[in-house]
Chains A and B, each alone.
Chain A
Amino acid sequence: MTTLTLSQHAAPGGLALDGSGPAASVELRGLSLAYAGRPVLDGLDWRLLPGQVVGLLGRNGVGKTTLLEALLGLRDARAGSATLFGQPLATLDDATRARIGFVPQQSQLFDWLTPRQLLAYFRSFYPKWNGPKAEALLARWEIPQDQQIAKLSGGQQQRLSIVRALAPEPDLLVLDEPVSSLDPIGRRDFLRELVEQVLDRGTTVVFSTHILSDLERVAFNVAFLAHGKIAVQAPLAELMDDCRRLTGPASRVDAHLRAQGLTPLSRRELDAGQVAVLAAHADATLPEGLHAERLSLEDLFAELTQ
């Protein structure tokens, strides 16, 4: 698959965000990380701007959790650099750390404590803690405060993890599959809270998920992780409106892309010399023998992460 990295963003037809502009909340440059010699992140560049909501997509085992952990300095990268709010990860000061909220994939954390104890513990570290908001969320999401966390349901544990991350009112919220254990009502509530957080405070939010319908509801941007890189990052609406799957004989497809100055986002060989190419604005002045089709988010996911 052809990937579109930050260096290619300026290419005509490129859908990804431009790297220039306001100071980034998160900036990763050339991040590489391997497990037992198998590269998971491979010179990955990524930039998240204040107030941006990004849904991170990728197939199982592609490295979404690793990327989110490396972004926060919880995994050591083999190469590359990462900054949060302009500070290198290794030297984050307390003021910057107070601006970060993280919901890890495992929600059964501090399971020997009760929710009340857990929140008291974390409150003791933060200079700013929105207690009433935490209380209100606990009540609204029906989380018993004095029951051991280990005895809460998976959904309650996940909600508690979200409350803990939201209470210090972070400027950067990193969520690793935050809704995987929630029922549809719980997911809707959570997404509403997330949108309010962004609208009220301009928080930068990045979250990984497999539930594409949730992305369509809340993510203003989506980023596809494949082969150790961010293959594409773009506003979701733009991606859905502009992206087309172009199929036809390989030579004709290539000629059309060249003529239109389009950069393919993905390319898949089909039978009998045919190819399927994903590109923006690919249906403009379509020559004979080529076929262009709009894609659902699920199809886009399949094309971009194969």
Chain B
Amino acid sequence: MSAAALTNPGGAFAGLSPLRAALQSLANSQTCVSWGFWALLFVGVPAASALIKPKLGLLLLAAFVVIALIGLWGALVSSLLNQNHPTLARLVPGQPRRLRLVLVLSYLALSVASELLGRAFDEPRIGLYAAATLAYFATGVRWPLTWVTTALFGFGPLLVRKLPLDGRMLVGELLLAAASPLGLACVLAAASVYLAGFVRDGGGAHGAAYERLQKRRRALKASVAGEAVQSPWFLGTLSLRGYGRSFERTLARAAAGRAGFDRVMLALGPQSHPATMLQGVVVLTLLVAVGVIGLWLAGSFQHSAQVGEGFANAMFGLLGVMLSALQQVHASMVRRRPEQGLVSLLPGVPRGREFNRRFALALLRDYLTPWALGMAALSLLLVPLGGTRHALVAFGVALLGGGLVLWRDWTGVALIKGWLAVLIYVPIASAAVAARWALDARRLDTSELLLVAALVLVPLYAWRWRVALRAPMAWPAGRRG
């Protein structure tokens, strides 16, 4: 049976029309490049791995299928919530009912399929874990702030250890009961009721909630696209303040006849300004400090190694902050072309190779400053706990490599949209994980890793420096596009 027959507005499956809209929306947002990327990731990588080690290929394929299903589920929930517009909910007959039906049926289908797959591989708890994971992701899409709770996952083993023996046994028994057919049916029924509550029937409260959700989505999209200055979030305001202070100082220096290149860099806007990048590092450091102090007050430092392991995930936070900073630079270069054009016409702005030299140095300085401060702050907080040294070294080295993307020919640059914008995370996060594995598995010690990193990064930086300098003047970016 074709998809069209399934969701034909007049057909037997007309109730599934929101599913069709969601799938169409997902397909429309993809480009040839993104389809190529997905094909490479889902087919190419497992196939290449299978050539080296068949079991590894199968494992990667399974992991990618799980990731893809979760991604699809997230996109589906997001689309259904988007379709649940308060006006349509009131005016289109049966629309909320159809949305609930699609949401719950999709959830049940994915959970039950996981359970059956788990049974086939003699893993009876897979269905329960899938049901919980899908409900958790749906919650994250509905209330984005709940993603913050992912930071606690690293402490899971520690929290379980802190439970008394009776408590741990109770948790185990509850899990067993929930994984049984009857238990799973109860979990799925409860989760279905919970998810059905996501869809609302219109009215004032629905209107306000819908607008809030759209605002958050716009803010998230804007932060990826380099427009976070219009974000309603407090971070947007803070970044403007930091930029504002720097703006005043830079203009005062210019008035005193010491107009440096910083004045030119102001034209890229607050999103990619070092004040904004530093703010991310400060927020991360504060969060880690609060966590460390909290655990210390709770008397959990006798498990300092486990605490350290938990906090090692903070390096993913630094990875996020630094790579987001790189994305902002890219987005600002594309989005702020008109500003760059105006500034490049001004007297006193260097031209050609001299411009590229000063621009490349300014970009790297703006990237390395928060990197160095972040590394220093996290080292101070985490090294005394133990169990974090490898993570600090591995992520620190990998993030140094991230600066390479700043030195390039900017004249052909274009805006990267959607998931492709986060592609930069893949090689750097992979390098970090690989480096940490090498240290943990004692394939390399710290000094050897640093030597390898130096041998790789120094020639790469030298090459990129030549590329950046030999390229035509970097501003306005994308003028050959």
Q: Which residues of A contact B (CB under 8 A)?
A: 69, 72-76, 90-92, 94-95, 97-98, 100, 102, 104, 106, 109-113, 117, 120-122, 124-127, 150
Given A76-B480, A109-B339, A97 and B346 touching (CB < 8 A)? yes
| A95 touching B347, Cβ below 8 Å | yes
| A75 touching B347, Cβ below 8 Å | no
| A150 touching B229, Cβ below 8 Å | yes
Can you list 9 contacts pairing A with B, beta carbon distance less than 8 Å? A69-B341, A97-B347, A97-B349, A104-B342, A109-B338, A124-B263, A125-B347, A125-B348, A126-B346
A106 to B349, CA, bound (A): 22
Given A76-B472, A112-B243, A97 and B345 touching (CB < 8 A)? yes
Q: Which of A72, A90, A110, A112 contacts B352 (CB 8 A)?
A: A90
Closest to B340 in A: A74
A156 to B247, CA, bound (A): 23
| B342 touching A76, Cβ below 8 Å | no
Interface of chain A, main secondary structure: loop
| A124 touching B259, Cβ below 8 Å | yes
| A74 touching B479, Cβ below 8 Å | yes
- Of the listed stretches B7-15, B150-158, B266-274, B315-323, chain A binds B266-274
Q: Which of B266, B342, B348 contacts A94 (CB 8 A)?
A: B348
Given A76-B479, A112-B269, A150-B229, A120 and B347 touching (CB < 8 A)? no
| A98 touching B269, Cβ below 8 Å | no
CB distance from A119 to the nearest CB of B (A): 11
Closest to A114 in B: B244
Interface of chain B, main secondary structure: helix
A113 to B349, CA, bound (A): 20
Is B430 an interface residue when CB atoms closer than 8 A count as contact?
Answer: no
Is B240 an interface residue when CB atoms closer than 8 A count as contact?
Answer: yes
Closest to B270 in A: A112
Taking each of B255, B259, B346, B480, which has the highest tally of chain A beta carbons within 10 Å of its own beta carbon?
B346
A237 to B479, CA, bound (A): 37
Given A97-B346, A112-B270, A125-B347, A104 and B247 touching (CB < 8 A)? no
The 8 A CB mask of B329-357 against A (1 = contact, 0 = none) is: 00000000011011011111101100000
| B251 touching A125, Cβ below 8 Å | no
| A72 touching B345, Cβ below 8 Å | yes
User: What residues of B have a CB within 8 angstroms of the CB of A97 in the complex?
Assistant: 345-347, 349
| A104 touching B251, Cβ below 8 Å | no
A95 to B348, CA, bound (A): 9
CB distance from A85 to the nearest CB of B (A): 13
| B341 touching A121, Cβ below 8 Å | no
A121 to B346, CA, bound (A): 11
CB distance from B470 to the nearest CB of A (A): 15
| B480 touching A106, Cβ below 8 Å | no
User: What residues of B have a CB within 8 angstroms of the CB of A102 in the complex?
Assistant: 341-342, 345
Q: Which of A75, A100, A112, A122 contacts B240 (CB 8 A)?
A: A112
User: What residues of B have a CB within 8 angstroms of the CB of A109 in the complex?
Assistant: 338-339, 342
Is B308 an interface residue when CB atoms closer than 8 A count as contact?
Answer: no
Q: Which of B347, B476, B480 contacts A98 (CB 8 A)?
A: B347
Is B369 an interface residue when CB atoms closer than 8 A count as contact?
Answer: no
Is B133 an interface residue when CB atoms closer than 8 A count as contact?
Answer: no
Closest to A91 in B: B351
A106 to B243, CA, bound (A): 23
Q: How large is the interface on B (under 10, 10 to 19, 20 to 34, 35 or more residues)?
A: 20 to 34
A99 to B341, CA, bound (A): 16
Q: Which residues of B contact A (CB under 8 A)?
A: 229-230, 240, 243, 247, 251, 254-255, 259, 263, 266-267, 269-270, 338-339, 341-342, 344-349, 351-352, 411, 472, 476, 479-480
CB distance from B226 to the nearest CB of A (A): 11
| A76 touching B411, Cβ below 8 Å | yes
A43 to B173, CA, bound (A): 81
Given A74-B479, A102-B342, A110 and B267 touching (CB < 8 A)? yes
> 4 shortest A-B CB distances, which residue pairs?
A94-B347, A125-B346, A124-B254, A74-B341
| B346 touching A104, Cβ below 8 Å | no
| B251 touching A121, Cβ below 8 Å | yes
User: What residues of B have a CB within 8 angstroms of the CB of A122 in the complex?
Assistant: 346
| B347 touching A126, Cβ below 8 Å | yes
Given A106-B338, A117-B247, A74 and B344 touching (CB < 8 A)? yes
| A125 touching B349, Cβ below 8 Å | yes
User: What residues of B have a CB within 8 angstroms of the CB of A100 in the complex?
Assistant: 345
User: What residues of B have a CB within 8 angstroms of the CB of A124 in the complex?
Assistant: 251, 254-255, 259, 263
| B348 touching A121, Cβ below 8 Å | no
CB distance from A206 to the nearest CB of B (A): 15
Closest to B230 in A: A150
Q: Which of A95, A104, A150 contacts B338 (CB 8 A)?
A: A104
A245 to B263, CA, bound (A): 55
CB distance from A75 to the nearest CB of B (A): 5
| A104 touching B243, Cβ below 8 Å | no
A56 to B243, CA, bound (A): 39
| B251 touching A120, Cβ below 8 Å | yes
User: What residues of B have a CB within 8 angstroms of the CB of A75 in the complex?
Assistant: 479
A127 to B346, CA, bound (A): 11
A122 to B247, CA, bound (A): 12
User: What residues of A have a CB within 8 angstroms of the CB of B480 in the complex?
Assistant: 76
User: What residues of A have a CB within 8 angstroms of the CB of B341 in the complex?
Assistant: 69, 72, 74, 102, 104
CB distance from A26 to the nearest CB of B (A): 14
A73 to B344, CA, bound (A): 9
| A110 touching B476, Cβ below 8 Å | no
Closest to B476 in A: A74
CB distance from A123 to the nearest CB of B (A): 9
User: What residues of A have a CB within 8 angstroms of the CB of B352 in the complex?
Assistant: 90
A69 to B476, CA, bound (A): 11
User: What residues of B have a CB within 8 angstroms of the CB of A110 in the complex?
Assistant: 267, 269, 339
A301 to B345, CA, bound (A): 32
CB distance from A262 to the nearest CB of B (A): 41
CB distance from A40 to the nearest CB of B (A): 13
User: What residues of A have a CB within 8 angstroms of the CB of B240 in the complex?
Assistant: 112
A90 to B267, CA, bound (A): 21
Closest to A125 in B: B346
User: What residues of B have a CB within 8 angstroms of the CB of A121 in the complex?
Assistant: 247, 251, 263, 266
User: What residues of A have a CB within 8 angstroms of the CB of B342 in the complex?
Assistant: 102, 104, 109
A104 to B344, CA, bound (A): 13
Given A74-B479, A117-B247, A120-B251, A112 and B229 touching (CB < 8 A)? yes
